[in-house]
Amino acid sequence: MELEALRSIYEGDESFRELSPVSFQYRIGESGDPKAFLIEISWTETYPQTPPIISMNAFFNNTISSAVKQSILAKLQEAVEVNLGTAMTYTLFEYAKDNKEQFMENHHPVNSTTSISNIISVETPSIAPSSKKKDKKEQLSKAQKRKLADKTDHKGELPRGWNWVDVVKMAA
């Protein structure tokens, strides 16, 4: 029921995005606003008796320092504790919208190019050795792919008996 309510409430709202029937994103603030941030809420199996998973790990939030993110998440967790046992996704999104200025008061935009280059330089060593270990996938031409597709069914498996030899009875 909460899913239907969220769909009807946020219908046409560009800030709201349903990632799956149990996972939602909401952008707090306008898209050009430097103090805008994105909240992702995912329901657990036993939601609303147990708290939903709240995340701010979206790429949109790269310019926000981790301290500010932790502060926002802590304040949202307090709201979760108050609303435990009731449908709270809408309440959390509205709470974040109402308190946006308070949440972002200590926000100083982080230079995104610096943070991205740091992420790349940190991840590059771990990616490089593993990519060398992987064998390159054999590249097939269009004709080869077409021929292979003609031989196989929709699952990519050869039909039963493709390699059987026809037995022909010879009558004398």
Place of tokens 């790269």: 62
Contact between 59 and 78 (Cβ < 8 Å): no
The span from the CA of 34 to the CA of 107, in Å, is 9
pTM listed for this prediction: 0.55
The span from the CA of 90 to the CA of 15, in Å, is 13
User: Which residues are paired to 55 by β-bridges?
Assistant: 40
Query: For 141-170, what is each residue's pLDDT tens digit?
Result: 888 877 777 777 767 677 777 676 655 555
> What is the average per-residue pLDDT within 124-141?
56
Report the chain's terminal Cα–Cα distance, integer Å. 77
